[in-house]
């Protein structure tokens, strides 16, 4: 009888123990974390990057669009001047695309003008007018893009200098950003910066460049675009070179570190893909950088981001595919968390309970 009692009792003990352990696991799953809400970046029109003054002995010029090289007008050893046309792509396809876009533009513009005229005569609805205006804006942007692409089939020298090397020849097909000609300009040093993909994709939006040096307090040097390479390095950063806009004296020496500011026309609203968060909210590195957003059921969702820059007050500006309006994120300790983990947000400290000690 005693043996049977022990045999039956043991499973009951183990079952009770297992239930107790499961309860502990559930309690441990709700991990307390500090949370915050990302704020839309109001500084999307100003990006700041560290830079360095470099020798301009190797500057690569490249077409901004892809195509077959129709002609190169220079040879190694030639001297060129800034803005001089040194090569062209076969622009047949780009001209056809522009003609098609212009025809589409004319048709949409005529229709938009008709709808707007009807609206002014109270013969149509505001919705129809808004739709016509929006369609006109879209086709106008598309037309400008087609014109820019046709213009970009022309390769110009970014500065005066000597053609050091011809890297591609007439008849070859090249991609956008593929180096074609190497030009040496020994007249002035350059400022080199390395920027992430999100900033590189916006280069066309920037309207002003400047830099400052600790060695020259109170002075700001104006810069202008000189050249860029569309191939990222191992850290997924793109190299951009800027020339000094004017020969101020004394000129910064090669090797000096600098801080470069890039200004863009941000329009009436902030960029919906740019957000500011605490730098402690970041986890991973390089291409694998991410944050954790908090789902309604208090579980973590891994969200990939790209770091645009770090600020001096401990924050980071990020680019993210999904808008973060009103979304809670983990504010610290993200490196020790995982996707799908159950968490419990730590409530903010009250004015009468500093440090959450009570």
pLDDT value for 185:
64
pLDDT at 84 over 60: yes
Residues 97-107 pLDDT 10s: 999 999 999 99
Measured over the CA atoms of residue 255, residue 49, residue 209 and residue 259, the dihedral's sign is: negative
pLDDT at 13 over 60: no
| Domain ranges, ordered by start, for the chain | 31-42+269-346, 47-56+187-264, 58-184
pLDDT category at 115 given cuts 50, 70, 90 is very high
Sheet of 79-80: strand order equals 59-62, 179-184, 161-166, 79-80
Higher pLDDT, 55 or 89: 89
pLDDT category at 333 given cuts 50, 70, 90 is confident
Distance of alpha carbon 333 from alpha carbon 52, whole angstroms: 33
pTM exceeds 0.75: no
> Are 97 and 223 in contact, with CB atoms under 8 Å apart?
no
pLDDT at 285 over 50: yes
pLDDT (average), residues 60-85: 91
Tell me which residue of 293, 312, 316 sits closest to 33, measured CA to CA. 293
pLDDT category at 230 given cuts 50, 70, 90 is confident
Tell me which residue of 176, 178, 179 sits closest to 163, measured CA to CA. 179
Determine the topology of domain 31-42+269-346 in CATH. Answer: 2.40.420
pLDDT category at 154 given cuts 50, 70, 90 is very high
pLDDT category at 269 given cuts 50, 70, 90 is very low
pLDDT at 7 over 50: no
pLDDT at 218 over 70: yes
Three state DSSP letters for 270-326: CCCCEEEEEHHHCECCHHHCEEEEECCCCEEEEEECEEEEECCCCEEEEECCCCCCC
pLDDT category at 324 given cuts 50, 70, 90 is confident
Tell me which residue of 139, 141, 172, 154 sits closest to 65, measured CA to CA. 154
- State the maximum Cα–Cα separation within the chain, in Å, rounded to a whole number: 108
The CATH H-level (homologous superfamily) assignment of domain 47-56+187-264 is Efflux pump adaptor protein, beta barrel domain (2.40.30.170)
Mapped onto helix, strand or coil, the DSSP state of residue 107 is helix
Share of the chain above pLDDT 70, in %: 82
Tell me which residue of 307, 350, 292 sits closest to 36, measured CA to CA. 292
pLDDT category at 77 given cuts 50, 70, 90 is confident
The DSSP result for 36-104, as a single string, is EE-EE-TTTTEEEEEEEEE--S-EEEE-SS-EEEEEE---TT-EE-TT-EEEEE--HHHHHHHHHHHHH
Distance of alpha carbon 342 from alpha carbon 340, whole angstroms: 6
Mapped onto helix, strand or coil, the DSSP state of residue 261 is strand
Residues 238-258 pLDDT 10s: 999 998 887 667 778 767 899
Helix (H) or strand (E) holding 19: helix 2-29
Peptide bond preceding 250: is omega within 30 degrees of 0, i.e. cis?
Answer: yes
Residues 196-214 pLDDT 10s: 888 888 787 788 899 999 9
Q: Which ranges constitute the DSSP H helices of 188-285?
A: 197-200
Most confident of 2-6, 60-64, 88-92, 229-233: 88-92
CATH top class, domain 58-184: mainly beta
Distance of alpha carbon 153 from alpha carbon 168, whole angstroms: 15
Tell me which residue of 243, 256, 250, 236 sits closest to 194, measured CA to CA. 236
Residues 22-71 pLDDT 10s: 545 444 557 899 999 888 775 446 788 999 988 766 678 999 999 999 99
Instruction: Please tell me if the domain spanning 31-42+269-346 has the same topology as the one spanning 47-56+187-264.
Output: no
């Amino acid at each position: 009888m005693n043996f049977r009692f022990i045999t039956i009792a043991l499973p009951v003990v183990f079952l009770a123990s297992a239930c107790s352990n499961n309860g502990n696991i559930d309690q441990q799953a709700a991990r307390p974390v500090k949370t915050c809400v990302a704020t839309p970046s109001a500084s999307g029109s100003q990006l700041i990057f560290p830079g360095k003054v470099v020798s301009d002995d190797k500057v690569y010029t490249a077409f901004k669009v892809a195509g077959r090289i129709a002609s190169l007008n220079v040879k190694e050893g030639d001297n060129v001047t800034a803005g001089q046309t040194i090569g062209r792509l076969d622009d047949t396809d780009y001209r056809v695309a522009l003609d098609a876009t212009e025809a589409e533009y004319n048709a949409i513009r005529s229709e938009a003008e008709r709808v707007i005229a009807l609206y002014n005569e109270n013969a149509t609805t505001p919705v129809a007018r808004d739709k016509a205006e929006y369609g006109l804006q879209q086709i106008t942007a598309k037309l400008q893009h087609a014109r820019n692409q046709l213009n970009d089939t022309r390769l110009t020298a970014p500065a005066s200098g000597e053609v050091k090397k011809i890297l591609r020849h007439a008849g070859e097909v090249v991609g956008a950003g593929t180096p074609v000609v190497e030009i040496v300009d020994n007249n002035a040093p350059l400022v080199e910066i390395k920027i992430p993909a999100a900033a590189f994709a916006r280069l066309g939006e920037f309207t002003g460049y400047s830099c400052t040096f600790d060695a020259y307090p109170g002075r700001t040097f104006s810069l202008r675009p000189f050249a860029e390479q569309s191939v990222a390095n191992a850290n997924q950063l793109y190299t951009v070179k800027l020339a000094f806009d004017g020969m101020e004296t004394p000129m910064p020496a090669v090797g000096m570190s600098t801080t470069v500011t890039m200004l863009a026309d941000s329009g009436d609203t902030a960029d919906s893909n740019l957000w500011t968060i605490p730098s402690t909210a970041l986890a991973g590195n390089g291409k694998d950088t991410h944050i954790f957003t908090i789902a309604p059921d208090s579980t973590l969702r891994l969200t990939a981001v790209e770091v645009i820059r770090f600020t001096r007050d401990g924050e980071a500006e990020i680019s993210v595919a999904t808008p973060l309006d009103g979304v809670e994120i983990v504010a610290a300790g993200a490196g020790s968390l995982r996707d799908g983990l159950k968490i419990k947000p730590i409530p903010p400290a009250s004015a009468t309970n500093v440090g959450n000690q009570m």
